């Protein structure tokens, strides 16, 4: 449903966001596929709509630097660039606040969070009306070009978005600059309209581009620079029963799952078992994935056994992360 972005449509879009739906919103860079950043199931729907084969972390859109400070640790450098470039096409990667309430899926289990205060009046009005931070990747299928008009969004996403807030073509037309301020030195992970030189002027130090960042449109490049969340505890996939000493990351019913040497998985203490989704719902599983992996990733645990997740839809992205976890552990 395409709606011209007037007050009534924005109010309707805010209701959709609050009830867990998805809205394509215009920003000054590209159209974003927006959902409530605190609602794990909504975030899972975004990955599904995009057909992302992996959970790249998403940008959290807020109304002001003050609101960004509720989610992320704003250093002196962060305040300086925020004052200079926000609202605008700049995203900051910052240490995530423990009590930010942002879905672990949105930040892909990382200790950092990407935040941006967009400049577009409709995006700003939607953030305000929804009253929650919005995650918004570009509103296109994974692997296709980022959309800069409402028609692009409709062509790419069709019915998987509940409303397209139409407000003409995007002024910048290129995704925001992603500046990583979480490390020892600031580095631009994704080039955009605000250049490393612009940022250098504000910070008074040399700021470079991450070597592999490549073309602005190459969607994989910044993702490849990411440190992925890696559990310390070894991970075993496709478990059909438990070895003794293992803890369980379940999916679906565990009624018939046994423990080798005796016992039933269902009798494990609460601290040793998490169920991604008792009903076998992939949205729920995706929303729970990182938080549950972290909960089971304890020094006292020798190994995390993970039940089979079907390799369909969101299951492809869930399995992508589980395989990485199994390799890392
Ligand atoms: O202009 C934009 O930024 C648009 C509009 C809608 O705001 N959004 C956008 O989102 O381009 P997306 O999801 O397509 O790109 C997010 C980028 C990815 O390159 C991702 O790897 C990076 O931000 N990113 C997000 N969180 C990160 C983190 N914690 N650490 C490093 N990179 C991160
Ligand atoms: Mg994108």
Q: Which domains does the chain possess?
A: 2-213 (3.90.870.10), 235-328 (3.40.50)
Q: Say how far apart CA 163 and CA 16 lie, in whole Å.
A: 8
Distance CA 177, CA 59 (A): 11
Q: How far is CA 309 from CA 9, 205, 251, in A?
A: 39, 47, 7
Is the C-beta atom of 109 inside 6 A of ligand 1? no
What pLDDT does 329 receive?
59
Kindly give, in sequence order, each residue whose CB lies less than 8 Å from that of residue 200, ignoring residues fewer than 6 positions away. 206, 207
Q: 147, 77, 71, 146: which is closest to 114 by C-alpha? A: 71
pLDDT of amino acid 221:
44
Ligand nearest to the CA of 175: 1
Helices (H) and strands (E) in the chain, counts: 10, 15
Element (H, E) at 274: strand 273-275
274: Cβ contacts below 8 Å, ≥ 6 apart: 248, 249, 250, 288, 292, 295, 296
CA 17 to ligand 1 center in whole angstroms: 20
Tell which atom from ligand 1 comes closest to the C-alpha of 91: 3
Q: Is the CB of 148 under 6 A from ligand 1?
A: no
DSSP reduced 3-state for 130: helix
Q: How many other β-carbons are positioned within 10 Å of the β-carbon of residue 183? A: 9
| Contact yes or no for 190/221 (Cβ under 8 A) | yes
Q: What is the mean pLDDT of each successive set of 10 residues along the chain, which is 329 residues long?
A: 96 98 97 98 96 89 98 98 98 96 94 97 98 96 87 92 96 91 94 91 94 46 60 95 95 95 94 97 90 92 97 87 83
Ligand 1 pocket residue status of 72, Cβ below 6 Å? no
Tell me if 56 CB under 6 Å of ligand 1: yes
pTM of the model: 0.88
Distance 223 CA to ligand 1 centre (A): 9
- Decide if 22 contacts 49 (C-beta within 8 A): yes
Please state, in angstroms and rounded to a whole number, the distance separating the CA atoms of residues 253 and 301.
22
Residue 130 token pair = 């929804």
Is 108 near ligand 1, meaning CB less than 6 Å away? no
Task: State in Å: Cα 320 to ligand 1 middle.
Answer: 19
178 lines ligand 1 (CB under 6 A): yes
Ligand 1 atom at minimum distance from 192 CA? 1
CA of residue 34 to ligand 2 center, whole Å = 13
Calculate helix-pair angle for 282-296, 40-50, nearest 10 degrees. 120
Exposure string (b/e) for 139-148, b if CB count within 10 Å is 16 or more? bbbbeeebbb
């Amino acid at each position: 449903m395409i709606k011209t972005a007037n007050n009534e449509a924005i109010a309707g879009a805010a209701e959709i966001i609050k009830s867990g739906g998805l809205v394509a919103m215009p920003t000054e860079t590209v159209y974003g596929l927006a959902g409530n950043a605190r609602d794990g199931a909504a975030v899972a729907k975004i990955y599904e709509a995009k057909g992302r084969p992996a959970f790249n972390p998403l940008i959290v859109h807020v109304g002001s630097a003050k609101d960004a400070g509720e989610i992320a640790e704003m250093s002196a450098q962060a305040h300086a660039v925020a004052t200079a470039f926000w609202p605008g096409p700049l995203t900051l990667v910052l240490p995530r606040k423990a009590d930010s309430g942002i879905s672990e899926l949105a930040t892909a289990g990382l200790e950092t969070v990407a935040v941006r205060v967009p400049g577009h009046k409709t995006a700003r009005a939607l953030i305000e009306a929804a009253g929650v931070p919005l995650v918004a990747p570009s509103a296109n299928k994974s692997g296709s070009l980022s959309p800069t008009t409402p028609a692009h969004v409709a062509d790419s996403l069709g019915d998987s978005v509940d409303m397209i807030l139409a407000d003409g073509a995007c002024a910048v037309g290129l995704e925001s600059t992603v500046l990583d301020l979480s490390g020892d030195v600031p580095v631009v992970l994704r080039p955009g309209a605000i250049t490393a030189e612009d940022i250098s002027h504000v910070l008074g130090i040399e700021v470079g581009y991450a070597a592999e960042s490549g073309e602005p449109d190459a969607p994989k490049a910044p993702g490849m620079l990411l440190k992925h969340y890696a559990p310390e505890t070894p991970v075993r996939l496709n478990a059909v029963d438990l070895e003794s000493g293992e803890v369980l990351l379940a999916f679906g019913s565990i009624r018939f799952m046994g423990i080798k040497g005796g016992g039933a998985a269902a009798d494990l203490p609460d601290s040793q078992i998490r169920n991604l989704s008792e009903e076998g719902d992939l949205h729920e599983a995706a929303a729970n994935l990182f938080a549950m992996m972290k909960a089971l990733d304890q020094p006292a645990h020798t190994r995390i056994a993970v039940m089979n997740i079907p390799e369909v839809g969101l299951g492809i992205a869930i399995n992508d992360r589980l395989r990485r976890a199994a390799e890392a552990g």
